[in-house]
Every structure is written in structure tokens, then in C-alpha cells.
Chains A and B, each alone.
Chain A
């Protein structure tokens, strides 16, 4: 029966003590124990690259299933209180989050026939797109654009908790859209980090393009 390690040697292995902390008579045992630990293989393990594709294939399959559509109605983000950490960068980069959650460019069919099939999230060829604006002093925020005839009453944002973050998720048809936020019914504010173009009226509109693919898989 092998003898158990001395308690102090165990603490050595735990990293609480160093070898020189051990009484002389225990140092040999301590050194032996450390040698054991030294043989631990810490080489990082890299999994095969196909794993990503397999996971995403399964994920897409589940996203399309009718069960999942029912599930999604239960978790419509509009009414759920989302807890976002407000970091300082949100102040100027609020739309990095927007641009981040907003899908990318446009609705052109993939050039290669092997491209991913569109994921239908909302009715027919629309994709959910989330808009976020950091506007702590605002009383009302809406988003208006080509997707809702620039009607500032069509898409009011919801304020999240006590912070200054306003948000809404819309189902947008594929294609390129222009939009801006309307603060307190009168100030038209472009999205801080989305691309902006001249609106022809001396201000800027923000641009978002919605693609069938959503984001790219890498």
C-alpha cells in the first residue's frame, strides 16, 4: 500500500507552498511529487476544422424546425427585459452593437450553387434586425427608414431598464435600407457607427443591408 503524501506536500502540489517551505525531511517526497506533476500533458488540443460546419449545419436544421418557430415566438426579444452591460464604449459606439447585430449587405443570390440556404426567420424572406441607440436623456426614440416609409410612429424603441439604452427588433425584408433614429419626435439622429450617406437634405442617413444569409460563417 503506497503511503499517502504528507499534507504539506499536498499543499506544495496545490501551489500554496514552495519546496523550500517544506521541512528538510519532506523535500525528497516533495520533489518526487512535483516531478509527477511535471509530466502532465498541457498541450492544447485542437479539434478538426470540420466541427464548425457540422455544428452550424445542425444549428440551422434546428432553427428551421416548426418547434423552434414556436419557441421563438416565446422568446421574442421585444418584451423581454435584456440585461446589457453598459460599457463606456457604448456611448460613442452604440451602433457597433447595432452594426454588429444588424446583418450585413444585400439580397443577392449566392454566386455558388453550394451556398447556404437562406434561414427564414420571420415571414418569407425577412430577417430580424435589432436596432440599438444609447440616448439617456431621451423620452421617446423611434427608428424610421425606407422599410417603414419613414414613419416615426411605426417603430418606437423600448427603453431597457434604467440605463440609456433603447432598442427594437424588426423583421426587415432583404435588400438595402436607409434609416435614422428620431429622438423625442423631432431630432433625426443617424446611427453612430453604421455607414452614413448624405440624405439630400443636409443630414445623414444610416445604411443597413439585409442578406438572406445573415452573417457569414467562417
Chain B
């Protein structure tokens, strides 16, 4: 009798907790998306929440689809795809040794996946990111590098190169703009990343910049010279 009562209490408090966490999806979406989108997204969100995944990105994606005037089915599909990505990221992180990845970290992982990194690469990078390197940060850096056109493997190699060289976490934050600078000088994103990885062992400013291989400089020259 006692056990049953206890079980009931635990079960209901669990349900209450879930309900408390679940933002009011319908309230957020009403008026911003087509009518048929609301219940579908609410369902996806509830399922995500029960798996411990963050719900906010799903709401944002639905609102985005509505704002862009996309057809209902496309919006629902995009929200489902994002939920899958969040789930995959969460799984990758857990098997990478993070027992309870928080929303921020899961979103970082999903961002990296969305940018083109594989689940395995997310796992690998998460594992390599021990203090002082925050995996939420390293995953976002790697994802942004991939978003700039650096092939995922090169993105991973570059971030890991800086970690291995013991460079400060704040140096990681500079990587995307350094790649952009290399690209502006005429390198491909991959070349720029490779150059930076080679220079990773050097102190900032003293190593070779992510550079252009000989013979490939853009003819335009650099109009940005200060």
C-alpha cells in the first residue's frame, strides 16, 4: 500500500514537473503560424521535453517558418528535423561522457550537426573539450567554421589543434574571423583553416597566418590595407 502511494506521488510529481517545464507552445505560436502547425509542433515539443531536450529552439523554428511564409507541412517537417538533431546531439554528448548535457550544450551540438559535422565528430570534439575548454563553445566554433565553408574534418582538426597546443579558449573565438581574413586574402576556407592549424602551436601573431598558397592570390589585391 505504501509503495503504491509512494509510486503515485513520484509519478504525479514527475508529470507536474514536466508540465511546469513545458512552455505554452500554443500561446507562443498562435497568430504566427498557420493553424494546423500549432498542434503538430506542440506534439513534437512535448515529445522532445520528455526526452530532456530543449523546446525553445523548436518554437523559434516554427515562428521562423511562419514569418518566412513557408507552407505548413514544410514548417512541421523543419521542426521535426530540428528535434531529431537535438536528440542526436544529446545522444552524442551523453556517449561523449556528458551525463546531463544542459540545453545550451545540446543546442551547441545541434548547431554543429546542422552545420555539417557528423555525430561522430560532435562526439569526438565534445570528448576533447575538457576544462578549460567548454564543449558548448568548441562545438559552436567548429559549427561556425563549417558554416564558413571549412570542411567539417578541417573544422574539427583546427579546433583540436588549438586545444592540443594549449591556446586559450578565447583564441578559439577568433578562429572564424581569422578564416574569413584568410579567405579575403584569397585562400579557400580549407586552406585558411589548414594554415591556422599549422600555426596553432605558435603564440598569437607570431605564427604564419592562414595564408594563400603561392600563385593563388586573388587579382583584386587587398583594398582593406589600413
- Give yes or no for direct A-B contact (beta carbon below 8 Å): yes
Using a CB–CB cutoff of 8 Å, the interface residues on chain A facing chain B are 87-89, 93, 96, 99, 104-106, 108, 110-112, 115, 144, 146, 149-152, 176, 178, 188, 193, 195-201, 203, 207, 209, 211, 213, 216, 218
In the complex, which residues of chain B have a beta carbon less than 8 angstroms from the beta carbon of A209?
140, 144
Q: Are A112 and B205 in contact (CB under 8 A)?
A: no
CA–CA, A195 to B112, complex, Å? 13
CB-contact partner of A105 in B148, B168, B176, under 8 A: B176
Using a CB–CB cutoff of 8 Å, the interface residues on chain B facing chain A are 32, 60-61, 63-68, 70, 74-75, 77-78, 81-82, 111, 114-115, 131-134, 136-137, 140-141, 143-145, 147-148, 168-170, 173-174, 176-177, 180, 184, 204-205, 220, 223-224
The SS class assigned to the B binding surface is helix
Please name the residue on chain A nearest to B183 by beta carbon: A193
Q: Are A110 and B81 in contact (CB under 8 A)?
A: no
Q: Are A105 and B141 in contact (CB under 8 A)?
A: yes
Which among A151, A152, A209 has the highest number of chain B CB atoms within 10 Å? A209
CA–CA, A88 to B145, complex, Å? 26
CA–CA, A199 to B168, complex, Å? 31
CB-contact partner of A104 in B67, B75, B134, B173, under 8 A: B173
CB-contact partner of B177 in A99, A106, A196, A207, under 8 A: A99
A–B complex contacts, Cβ < 8 Å, 30 sampled? A88-B223, A89-B223, A104-B173, A104-B174, A105-B137, A105-B144, A106-B137, A106-B140, A108-B134, A108-B136, A110-B170, A111-B168, A111-B169, A111-B170, A115-B170, A144-B67, A146-B60, A150-B64, A150-B67, A176-B111, A195-B145, A197-B143, A200-B61, A200-B81, A201-B68, A201-B70, A201-B74, A201-B75, A209-B144, A218-B204
**A-B pairs with CB below 8 Å: how many?**
100
In the complex, which residues of chain A have a beta carbon less than 8 angstroms from the beta carbon of B74?
201
CB-contact partner of B180 in A96, A105, A152, under 8 A: A96
CA–CA, A47 to B200, complex, Å? 27
Known: A89-B223, A96-B180, A112-B168. A201 touches B65 (CB 8 A): yes
In the complex, which residues of chain B have a beta carbon less than 8 angstroms from the beta carbon of A151?
67
In the complex, which residues of chain A have a beta carbon less than 8 angstroms from the beta carbon of B143?
197
Q: Are A195 and B170 in contact (CB under 8 A)?
A: no
Please name the residue on chain B nearest to A199 by beta carbon: B64
Please name the residue on chain B nearest to A198 by beta carbon: B114
CB-contact partner of A197 in B137, B141, B147, B223, under 8 A: B147
CB-contact partner of B78 in A87, A96, A150, A201, under 8 A: A201
Q: In the complex, how many angstroms separate the beta carbon of B65 from the nearest chain A beta carbon? A: 6
Q: Are A216 and B173 in contact (CB under 8 A)?
A: yes
Q: Are A104 and B148 in contact (CB under 8 A)?
A: no
CA–CA, A60 to B66, complex, Å? 42
Q: In the complex, how many angstroms separate the beta carbon of B115 from the nearest chain A beta carbon? A: 5
CA–CA, A193 to B224, complex, Å? 15
Q: In the complex, how many angstroms separate the beta carbon of B193 from the nearest chain A beta carbon? A: 13
In the complex, which residues of chain A have a beta carbon less than 8 angstroms from the beta carbon of B67?
144, 149-152
Please name the residue on chain B nearest to A99 by beta carbon: B180
Please name the residue on chain A nearest to B79 by beta carbon: A200
CA–CA, A105 to B178, complex, Å? 13
Q: Are A197 and B173 in contact (CB under 8 A)?
A: no
Q: A144-B67, A201-B65 are in contact. List 17 more A-B contacts (CB 8 A).
A: A96-B180, A105-B141, A111-B134, A111-B170, A149-B32, A149-B63, A150-B67, A196-B147, A197-B143, A199-B64, A199-B68, A200-B81, A201-B68, A207-B144, A209-B140, A209-B144, A213-B170
